[in-house]
Amino acid sequence: MALRLVSDFDLRKDVLPWLRAQRVASAAAGARGGGPGVLENNYESLRILNVERNGNVIYTYKDNKGNVFFGLYDCQTRQNEHLYTFEKDLHVVSCSVNSDRTLLAASLVHSTKEGRKNELQPGSKCLTLLVEIHPVNNVKVLKAVDSYIWVQFLYPHVESHPLPENHLLLVSEEKYIEKFHIQVIQEDGSRVVIKDSGHLPRERVAEDFVWAQWDMSEQRLYYIDLKKSRSILKCLQFSADEKFNLMFEAPLDITLSDSGFKLVNFGCDDLQDQENLSKHLTLCVFTNHTGHGKTFTAALGSVDSHVTKGLTFLNLDYYLAVYLPGHFFHLLNIQHPDLICHSLFLTGNSEVVDMLPHSPLQSLSGSLVLDWCSGKLYRALLNQSYLLQFLWNTQLDCEKMAVLHCVLSCGGDRRFLEAKIIQWISENISACHSFDLIQEFIIASSYWSMCPETSNMDKLLPYSSVLTWNTEIPGITLVTEEIALPFMKVHSFKGYWEKLNSNLEYVKYSKPHLHYNNSMVRREWHSLISEEKTGRRRSMVYVKNILDNATKVISNLEARNLEPRLTPLFQEADNHQRLLMGLMVSELKDHLLRHLQGVEKKKIEQMALDYVSKLLDLVCQIMETSWRKHSLHPCVPHFSGRASAAEFKVFHIMTRILEATKSLFLPLPPGFHTLHTILGVHCLPLHNLLHYIDSGVLLLTETAVTRLMKDLDNTEKNEKLKFSIIVRLPPLIGQKICRLWDHPMSSNIISRNHVKRLLQNYKKKPPSSVIHKSSFSVEFLPLNYFVEILTDIESSNQALYAFEGHDNVDAKFVEEAALKHTMMLLGL
């Protein structure tokens, strides 16, 4: 299953054996109350009451006389402890123990003779008691009313020393919440008793509410307040002192006056009626910045499947799990809800959906999940092994996209996960039609490797290569409606509240899309390359800083990768790619500095380096996997012989990598283009090769062409290849390469370039009646006349010989080259 439930606590395994041992010990000591078989007859009464913030579990059971036993399971020591026993036949509504385990609060109602709870008819009582349990001493009545009461001790963030004062929330079915202040003192060394138990100060926290939810992990109380038919959502934050602060309030465009009374996460909720399932279940998710409401309607599948009432929601950090046993299981991406393809929708009565418990689960603090019915406490985790297997088996593009992000969000051994995903990509590289697998993997993996480390990075880095998704997802109907942003007062800006306020400001002022893109890098890179071609270059200090950024990226990358590489990358300078990666570091750093407030400049610089290094590392990983899979030698392939099937496949993978990075304008490791070109020359027929070069798929580098000229002999086929390559080179590189090829064609090209340079500013002189005879024996008047002009220009301007790469090229060389080329063309 996509969701893995790891048992942290089980009443049968962690409590029952201890209770039996206690009974056996009591029986052996001659204690009254029956032997060890008594508990077997009352097994059904054993149930969980509450899970406190520190993970400790409070449970209860009744003996054969109806006495109520309270116990605590310590999640750290994995030991059980007896807290208190009420020697009356009572039913427990709610229970909580303070962090020092010195006070027990409990709400109880009398049970009927049939053993069922009293349904609180007029005249019945609900007792809320406060008990000293270290040692068992005094019992104080806090409430004796005709309605249910729920109790919860506060667990603020404090040091390990005991608190002098405890705070207890009382939630009444009469729609009010009170807070009791309970001071304790220590007597006779270890006795802890209530100070002035006759007078416990209390204050009203909330009233006239219809719904409340307790956030145990952050000690927050959310409730909906009814004011003149208006529903206002409020949040209170409780701190270590006796104060509580109103953090925010937001009016809701709904009325809840007739919706009844509902509590969430105040212990076991078996006293509240479960609502009947509607015919069509819907879940409304409000996005964090688009200002839209998204309503997903899921198909319920076959009607004859076993269904237990209750739709379950589980908080899984970046995802919200929503499932109805036997019908559907959804993982909704709450980090980026704007694209439906980032959420995983599994529908139908299948083994995938049906593996979770067929009973409602309650999401507690962190990743804890409680199954009240079975008495089990789970830690909910995304099942990476299942998700990876699902990635291999699914045929739908939307599920491939969703699972890819889901796997990467899990964290853990990222290198291992990336290796598994790359293996899948290499086998399914052409299987997706809605998005580019390599593109999405590079962007998503870079995003998930950076965002968990720094707050607000999720808004600043691109998380997907896909901007829109219009493909239908089977079994899911999506309706998007524009909603008005509610007015919300936020009263604090620390931690969670700072993040919340940032999201609100983002929506309020309709900020532009903040995710980084390479548009600025693209423009600047093209500008620098254009300047290089024309021989003009802006400040050398500017260019040096950019290249220094690239050096830092490569050093950063090499420091992370200690194993020797199979692929022959990073073995040449490749200034164009270095310019690109250096520019990206510079632009990304500026982008983060603009939008990340309160983060040191040095740390931001490192973030930019890490991000660009990660992009390059992912390309290297794909290359390494491909190289290893096809057992290629850790050297550049040779031109001799026919290309192997493995080389064809690696060339195809490199071409797909190039396509993916080119549209996003991402840098490639230095040496990538050289290796790609050499494989292309080895694998492709000449006409295909030239088509790849002309369309920009293959980029001719000086290193690749130099090796081509040196390694290939001058057979007719190779001559044609070399000439076709040379004429496609940029002029500056072409002049260098021609000098490496000892061939009339090369001499011809060199001569043409030399003549072009000489005649650029040539002004025709009056014709001379005398033409000096050439030193050559060949009588060819047009050539003799042309050579005479070149000789005259050379003799009149010796400075022309100073240009780079002259290599003794002069009129004589031009004449010899012309004659050799003519003879070659004539076949003489």
In-domain check, residue 455: yes
Mean pLDDT comparison of 237-251, 300-314, 673-687, 784-798, highest-scoring range: 673-687
CA 724 – CA 722 distance, rounded (Å): 5
Please tell me whether residues 159 and 293 are part of one structural domain: no
For residues 165-176, one letter each, b for 16 or more C-beta atoms within 10 angstroms of the residue's C-beta and e for the rest, the string is ebbbbbbbbebe
717 DSSP 8-state letter: H
Q: Average pLDDT in the 302-308 region?
A: 47
Q: Which uninterrupted H or E stretch holds 721? A: helix 716-726
**pLDDT tens digits for range 342-396:** 999 987 755 566 567 777 777 777 778 888 888 899 988 888 998 999 999 999 9
Cis peptide leading into residue 357 (ω within 30°): no
Please tell me whether residues 288 and 201 are part of one structural domain: no
In-domain check, residue 683: no
Please tell me whether residues 184 and 288 are part of one structural domain: no
Q: Considering only CA atoms, which of 137, 84, 128 is closest in space to residue 108?
A: 128
Classify burial at 496, counting beta carbons within 10 Å of its beta carbon; exposed 0-12, middle 13-18, buried 19 or more: middle
Please give the residue range of the domain that contains residue 451.
282-482
For residues 422-446, one letter each, b for 16 or more C-beta atoms within 10 angstroms of the residue's C-beta and e for the rest, the string is bebbbeebeebeebbbbbbbbbbbb
In-domain check, residue 23: yes
* Tokens, residue 801: 């010989």
In-domain check, residue 589: no
Sign of the four-CA dihedral 333, 337, 342, 346: positive
pLDDT class of 452 with cuts at 50, 70, 90: confident
SS3 category, 294: strand
Please tell me whether residues 88 and 176 are part of one structural domain: yes
| pLDDT number for residue 34 | 46
CA 253 – CA 486 distance, rounded (Å): 9
H-state helical runs in 535-671:
540-560, 575-595, 601-629, 645-664
Sheet strands side by side (includes 57-62): 47-51, 57-62, 68-74, 79-86
CA 103 – CA 195 distance, rounded (Å): 12
Please tell me whether residues 297 and 428 are part of one structural domain: yes
CA 581 – CA 559 distance, rounded (Å): 17
- Count Cβ atoms below 10 Å from residue 737 Cβ, excluding itself: 20
Classify burial at 580, counting beta carbons within 10 Å of its beta carbon; exposed 0-12, middle 13-18, buried 19 or more: buried
Q: Considering only CA atoms, which of 142, 188, 179, 182 is closest in space to residue 164?
A: 182
Please tell me whether residues 44 and 191 are part of one structural domain: yes
DSSP string, 521-543: HHHHHHHHHHHHHHT----HHHH
Look up residue 39 and give its amino acid.
L
In-domain check, residue 136: yes
Q: Given 205, 231, 255, which residue is the final one in a domain?
A: 205
Q: Who wins on pLDDT, 356 or 709?
A: 709
Q: Average pLDDT in the 238-259 region?
A: 75
- For residue 472, give Cα distances in angstroms to 337, 340, 432, 475: 16, 10, 15, 9
Q: Average pLDDT in the 464-480 region?
A: 83
Number of domains the chain contains: 3
Please tell me whether residues 302 and 180 are part of one structural domain: no
* Tokens, residue 589: 């750093």
| pLDDT number for residue 308 | 45
**pLDDT tens digits for range 135-150:** 887 899 999 998 899 9
| pLDDT number for residue 162 | 60
CA 747 – CA 705 distance, rounded (Å): 17
In-domain check, residue 181: yes
pTM over cut 0.75: yes
Residue 88 has pLDDT above 60, yes or no: yes
607 Cβ contact list (under 8 Å, min separation 6)? 450, 454, 457, 589, 592
13 DSSP 8-state letter: I
822 Cβ contact list (under 8 Å, min separation 6)? none
Q: Who wins on pLDDT, 759 or 201?
A: 201
Question: Is 464:606 a contact under the CB 8 Å cutoff?
Answer: no
pLDDT class of 49 with cuts at 50, 70, 90: very high
Please tell me whether residues 177 and 324 are part of one structural domain: no
Please tell me whether residues 164 and 300 are part of one structural domain: no
- For residue 337, give Cα distances in angstroms to 50, 286, 318, 508: 33, 8, 10, 18
DSSP string, 357-386: -SS--EE-STTEEEETTTTEEEEEEE-HHH
**pLDDT tens digits for range 213-231:** 888 888 889 898 877 667 8
683 Cβ contact list (under 8 Å, min separation 6)? 643, 647, 648, 651
- For residue 31, give Cα distances in angstroms to 22, 24, 26, 34: 11, 10, 5, 8
Q: Given 427, 453, 482, which residue is the final one in a domain?
A: 482
Question: What is the total residue count of the chain?
Answer: 828
Sign of the four-CA dihedral 465, 471, 474, 475: positive
101 Cβ contact list (under 8 Å, min separation 6)? 72, 81, 83, 133, 134
| pLDDT number for residue 168 | 94
| pLDDT number for residue 707 | 86
pLDDT class of 549 with cuts at 50, 70, 90: very high
Percentage of the chain lying above the pLDDT 90 cut = 32
* Tokens, residue 795: 């003799």
Three-state SS string over 671-710 comes to CHHHHHHHHHHHHCCHHHHHHHHHCCCCCCCHHHHHHHHH
CA 348 – CA 299 distance, rounded (Å): 8
CA 551 – CA 557 distance, rounded (Å): 10
Residue 814 has pLDDT above 80, yes or no: no
Residue 118 has pLDDT above 50, yes or no: no
Please tell me whether residues 187 and 286 are part of one structural domain: no
575 Cβ contact list (under 8 Å, min separation 6)? 547
Look up residue 721 and give its amino acid.
L
Sheet strands side by side (includes 3-10): 3-10, 376-382, 368-371, 362-363
Q: Considering only CA atoms, which of 546, 619, 620, 548 is closest in space to residue 586?
A: 546
| Mean residue pLDDT across the chain | 79
Q: Given 463, 482, 501, which residue is the final one in a domain?
A: 482
- For residue 318, give Cα distances in angstroms to 10, 158, 332, 405, 769: 27, 28, 9, 10, 90
Q: Who wins on pLDDT, 166 or 358?
A: 166
Q: Average pLDDT in the 251-260 region?
A: 69
Q: What backbone torsions phi and psi does residue 301 show, to the nearest 5 degrees?
A: 75, -155
Question: Is 737:706 a contact under the CB 8 Å cutoff?
Answer: yes
**pLDDT tens digits for range 616-632:** 999 999 999 999 999 88
Least confident of 400-404, 561-565, 784-788: 784-788
Q: Considering only CA atoms, which of 390, 392, 297 is closest in space to residue 352?
A: 390
Question: Is 179:206 a contact under the CB 8 Å cutoff?
Answer: no
In-domain check, residue 26: yes
Q: Who wins on pLDDT, 82 or 485?
A: 82
CA 440 – CA 391 distance, rounded (Å): 14
CA 221 – CA 771 distance, rounded (Å): 105
In-domain check, residue 49: yes
* Tokens, residue 646: 């493995």
Please tell me whether residues 307 and 438 are part of one structural domain: yes
Residue with tokens 């409780």: 238
Q: What backbone torsions phi and psi does residue 382 show, to the nearest 5 degrees?
A: -70, 130
| pLDDT number for residue 38 | 44
